[in-house]
Amino acid sequence: MSESRVRRPRRFLVCEPRHFAVQYAINPWMHPDTPVDVDLAQEQWQGLISAYRGHGHTVDTVEPAPGLPDMVFAANSAVVVAGRVFGSLFHAPERRPESVHYESWFKAAGYDVHRPESVCEGEGDLVWTGRYVLAGTGFRTTREAHREAQEFFGHPVISLTLVDPHFYHLDTALFVLDDDNISYYPEAFSQGSRAALARLYPDAVLATRDDAMAFGLNSVSDGRHVFIAPRAEALAARLGERGYVPVPVDLSEFQKAGGGIKCCTQEIRS
């Protein structure tokens, strides 16, 4: 079945973890007294970039800024659909300056950038499926931002409520496999949101809590290859049974800040 899955070349924006650290706590994963191995983080991040390029994807980089240790999590910077950029307004004051640097990169690359009026954390909570936007709320991005994104993109936005603080962003609890399907952890969502996802994606690849806690849902798929955390072994096996090809990439050092593969990856859709 894997031969029927089609890889689509992607363009990703990333930020080197030159200044990565855990200096504050804004999610349950973060403990400032836990040391970060910066050299290991660099090595793991380079492994991700090599994996992307080795599978035929384009990778652009934004220059990291001193004093912004979470700037490596490029996914939170914006959502890009059909060349239109919906920027970010972070919930935590510590992260708000990141938006300026990413906005500058997009503008230098020739894009106009919409600055949201409400708290919105980019692809962390707004996930483009090819038909509509799945939008998380409950911990970071607000419902007002969902409405704002719908007005901006002109595509339906489906609000989903997150209920477990370990899965504070939608991209820690769900990822898009291809134009037709997703993978997600049901218990990360409210009862109504679970019911909505079950109706939208009756054949979704479901993850266990162990999968989710291993950051298995903070994955990136090109339609065939799924770049996934190595410890999410059960989820990788289920994806393999569905014809996808898991590509394990270890970003365990970034999990100390509550991030993983997708967090480090902004997708630019022209």
Question: Beta partners for 126?
Answer: 135
Chain CA centroid to CA 197, Å: 18
Catalytic residue among 57, 114, 146, 263: 263
The question of whether 15 is a catalytic residue gets the answer no
Catalytic residue among 146, 169, 225, 264: 169
Report how far residue 87's alpha carbon sits from residue 66's, in angstroms, rounded to the nearest whole number. 21
Question: Among candidates 200, 192, 33, which has minimal Cα distance to 127?
Answer: 200
Report how far residue 261's alpha carbon sits from residue 228's, in angstroms, rounded to the nearest whole number. 7
The question of whether 263 is a catalytic residue gets the answer yes
Chain CA centroid to CA 83, Å: 18
Residue with tokens 């719908």: 150
Q: Please report which helix (H) or strand (E) contains residue 107, including its range.
A: helix 98-108
Strands (DSSP E) contained in the chain are: 11-15, 58-62, 79-81, 84-86, 113-114, 126-128, 133-137, 157-161, 174-176, 182-184, 205-206, 220-221, 225-228, 245-248, 266-267
Report how far residue 227's alpha carbon sits from residue 48's, in angstroms, rounded to the nearest whole number. 8
Residue 118 DSSP SS3: coil
Residues in CB range of 79: below 8 A, 6 or more apart: 85, 86, 122, 123, 126, 128, 133, 149
**Catalytic positions:** 169, 263
